[in-house]
Structure 1
Amino acid sequence: MAGVGNFTRNSRTLYVGGLKSVSARDAVKEQEDALWKQFGEWGEVENINVIHRKSICFVRFRHRTSAEFAKEAMANQALQSDEVLNVRWAFDDPNPVAKQAGERADRDAVVAMMQAKGVTTGEDAAFDYPEQYQMPPTKRQRVEGDTVASYPDTDTQFSAEGGSAAAPAAASEEDLYAQLSYADPNGQVSTEQPEGDADNQE
């Protein structure tokens, strides 16, 4: 078992170990051609980096699905003669230049995909709405009289005296009693005190 790779990143590079150690120029060229031919059967190969002193190489595909097929198909197989290939998922390149190149390639791929769909990607271009898009109607603001206000007009609830700050209007004693829950439903409010209360005060 060589693992399933990383699900959080789009890994497209395979580590291939167990290559035959070669040093002659012609043998090196034949080995690289064999790598391009054998792994190219499973999808478009972007790059093959062969490290001859370690007898390993890194094969980067254009699509992850191609790398998955190649990993399963080429594991424990022979490349040229009797070698047994050890194929695993490669770790991410720690080189910051390589990381920036990968991010730039991803951005370019997104831009190319959007341009293929007819979307304007220029920074100074106007925003293009879809053809069937309809703007929603704007909400009307609350209108109080002749002026547009976001809050209701509460000037009638306060009285201004001498140009000073508004002060609450003093309500009459009858109005205050009428607002009580146990007030007389007929609207007749008595301000006289009960007899018991009068006796207690005496």
Structure 2
Amino acid sequence: MIHRDLILPVPVLLIDDQVEASQNLSHILQNFGYPKEVLLCSPSLANAVLMVQQHLPNLVFINLQSWSKAQIDFIQNLKLFRKDTLIVAVLPSSMPKQLLQAIHLGISAYVFSDQSATGMQNQIRTILRGGSPLDSNLANEILACEQSIVAHGHSLALSKTEHEILALSGQGLPSQQVAANLNASEQLVHGYVKSIYRKIMNADDAMCCFS
């Protein structure tokens, strides 16, 4: 099937020490139109560093379930070496604090590993359409983080619309319903979500919530 509404950056690097997980993700990407030969897999960060230098991937999926210092260092170094590379975190939905920290480090989107194949496919479709997912746990984590930041005399400089999107998403509303509530397009909502993530990424390291 041809998905004309999707953007397919290549090559793609999948970093996961679980071969089956990489295969499942690769299968989803192939269903969206990716040729198998542009999907590169690495079972380790050390090997991934070499593959980044050799193949210069434009899209990287990295499993962050173990949330190690080595993974943090990899993301930071990748953003320095390839600042325009799209980094997607793959992790369980039970890790909103780590996900928020990963966004601050420079990831652009995420896929939950503990959901159905259909759920993963839907999140990846959003990403390949140029958007970024925003689930209720992460939305509430961002709101709580901002309250703490404001209490310490700082701000994420979120707009009124961005606050509304976080509040609606925090109630568990899907992006389509958030868009309907705001009388806006779903594409515009995804644009605001990406703006929220950029503000988190550019926030001062000294702010709470990001360490």
Same fold (TM over 0.5): no
More strand by share: 1
The structure with more radius of gyration: 1
Higher RCO (Cα < 8 Å, 6 or more apart): 2
> TM (normalized to structure 1)?
0.20
More helix by share: 2
